[in-house]
Amino acid sequence: MIAGGGSVVIAGGRLVDPSIGVDALRDVRIRDGIVVEVGEHIALEDGDIAIDASNAFVSPGFIDMHVHLREPGFPEKETIVTGTHAAVRGGFTAVACMPNTEPALDDPAVLRAVVAAAAERAKCRVYPIGAITRGRLGRELCDYHALQAAGAVAFSDDGSTVEDTALLVRAALAAAGEAPFISHCEDEGIKAGGVMNEGVTSRRLGLQGSPAIAEESIVARDCTIAIETRKRWHIAHITTAAGLDLVRAAKLQATHVTCEVTPHHLAFTDELVATLGSAAKVNPPLRTHADAAALRQGVRDGSIDACASDHAPHTDAEKSGDFEHAAVGFTGLEIAAGALAYAIEDLSLRRYVEVLSTAPARILNIPGGSLRVGSPGDAVVFADRPWRVDPQQFASKGRVTPFAGRTLPRRIIATIVGGIVAFCEDL
Ligand SMILES: [Zn+2]
């Protein structure tokens, strides 16, 4: 990280900022952590740090609203330091971290410890997501007011579904305010121990499949709860065409329903399990060609609000061995932005920046997602330059990704967090 005495000027780039409706060559000056000037040509002053963005794009810093930092509890998988280092290499200036830690983020003191550790050691902004139920066990509600006061920006039992519908309705009614609930949608009974998508490939490989309805039934239930309780609701990592149609239908009745998708569910199908094995093992699982095509269309047409990595690092040992017992999920922060461009080649830059930045800021009601004068000085510079994914180069402790060896069409040039150059490929 570079501490500068003067200000940072990002010069010569094509600024794409949907929040202010700009898509044009613009320079950006950040001083004392705040955007102070956006203009056609900003003259450099003594002490300025200049970032050359010519032949590149400039946008509000990316915000990953679905990240597992593994701290507290699993430092061998990831830490706040390694996770946020991976984040800034991936263009992210803020991440929201999921509560499936040990202990879970179900208690104000645990949240405050994460916030304090992040303030001291993180390379980007960290926003914790509190648990919906104590220990994420689905039995006892958390104190949402206390969690919000301690820094929680949303509530989720991610990794698990709150199976007790009555309890979830009570949770929604108990939580006042604007912090959304985030649903992990997998009915464990229907899933019945499934380790990949149920379909031709699972049958051919002789693996227990998890059918689409395991996800869709919970999407339908939670959209209904959102509409009835008027609580803001966000469906995490949606994977099926029918599930997306359920969200579309809910949005017609309730503007406070949103959803996200991951780059891997946009790019890949369950056939990848046959060739990559546990490097393609994830929850919810990779689905079919028709599902991935529907998700890509959902990103283009705005039915899918945000793109999130679901960064879920594990040790190499946990990801090796036989498929059924291998850990679920993979690392993603360093490649997510490039992987989105890989998955949807024809995505407009405006939508690209919206789903990676403006929308997550809006959904979580956090600063960022805009380079309007007066906004936080969080920016990213990226370019259409192909690069090959080599997990050995990752800052994340996780080395396993289904994008390993793929050539992604877009890469991160520089990441500026609060006016500090947190990553720059030339330095
Ligand atoms: Zn999840």
Distance 388 CA to ligand 1 centre (A): 27
Decide if 410 contacts 382 (C-beta within 8 A).
Answer: yes
Q: How high is the pLDDT of residue 321?
A: 83
Distance 257 CA to ligand 1 centre (A): 17
pLDDT average, residue stretch 365-391: 98
Q: How high is the pLDDT of residue 176?
A: 76
**Digit-coded pLDDT (tens) for 406-425:** 999 999 999 999 999 999 99
Taking the whole predicted model, whether its pTM rises above 0.95 is answered as: yes
Q: How high is the pLDDT of residue 33?
A: 97
Task: Select from 139, 78, 77 the least CA-distant residue to 106.
Answer: 139
> What is the rounded distance in angstroms from the CA atom of residue 189 to the CA atom of residue 148?
32
Task: Select from 176, 335, 202, 170 the least CA-distant residue to 266.
Answer: 335
Decide if 351 contacts 302 (C-beta within 8 A).
Answer: yes
Q: How high is the pLDDT of residue 427?
A: 61
- pLDDT over 90, % of the chain: 96
pLDDT average, residue stretch 154-176: 95
> Does residue 310 carry a catalytic annotation?
yes
Decide if 84 contacts 91 (C-beta within 8 A).
Answer: no
Q: What is the mean pLDDT of the chain?
A: 96
User: Angle at Cα 175 formed by Cα 68 and Cα 126, nearest 5°?
Assistant: 30
Decide if 122 contacts 89 (C-beta within 8 A).
Answer: no
Among 52, 310, 390, 426, which one carries the catalytic annotation? 310
Distance 237 CA to ligand 1 centre (A): 7
SS3 string of 50-73? EEECCCCEEEECEEEEEECCCCCC
Q: How high is the pLDDT of residue 242?
A: 98
Decide if 339 contacts 267 (C-beta within 8 A).
Answer: yes
**Digit-coded pLDDT (tens) for 179-237:** 999 999 999 999 999 999 999 999 999 999 999 999 999 999 999 999 999 999 999 99
Flag whether pLDDT at 307 surpasses 80.
yes
Handedness of CA 229, 230, 234, 238 (dihedral sign): positive
3-state class (DSSP) for residue 426: coil
**Digit-coded pLDDT (tens) for 386-405:** 999 999 999 999 999 999 99
Flag whether pLDDT at 426 surpasses 60.
yes
Tokens of 424: 């720059």
Instruction: Report the run of H or E that residue 257 belongs to, with start and end.
Output: strand 257-261
Distance 182 CA to ligand 1 centre (A): 9
Distance 312 CA to ligand 1 centre (A): 9
> How many H-runs (helices) and E-runs (strands) does the chain carry?
15, 20
How confident is residue 5, by pLDDT bands cut at 50, 70 and 90? low
> What is the rounded distance in angstroms from the CA atom of residue 398 to the CA atom of residue 83?
9
Decide if 276 contacts 329 (C-beta within 8 A).
Answer: no
Distance 238 CA to ligand 1 centre (A): 9
Sheet holding 155-156, edge to edge: 155-156, 181-183, 233-235, 257-261, 306-307
pLDDT average, residue stretch 303-312: 98
pLDDT average, residue stretch 127-147: 97
**Digit-coded pLDDT (tens) for 289-299:** 999 999 999 99
> What is the rounded distance in angstroms from the CA atom of residue 266 to the CA atom of residue 276?
17
Flag whether pLDDT at 6 surpasses 80.
no
**What is the DSSP secondary-structure string of 264-307?**
HHHH--TTHHHHHGGGG--SSPP--HHHHHHHHHHHHHTSS-EE
**Digit-coded pLDDT (tens) for 41-97:** 999 999 999 999 999 999 999 999 999 999 999 999 999 999 999 999 999 999 999
Distance 379 CA to ligand 1 centre (A): 27
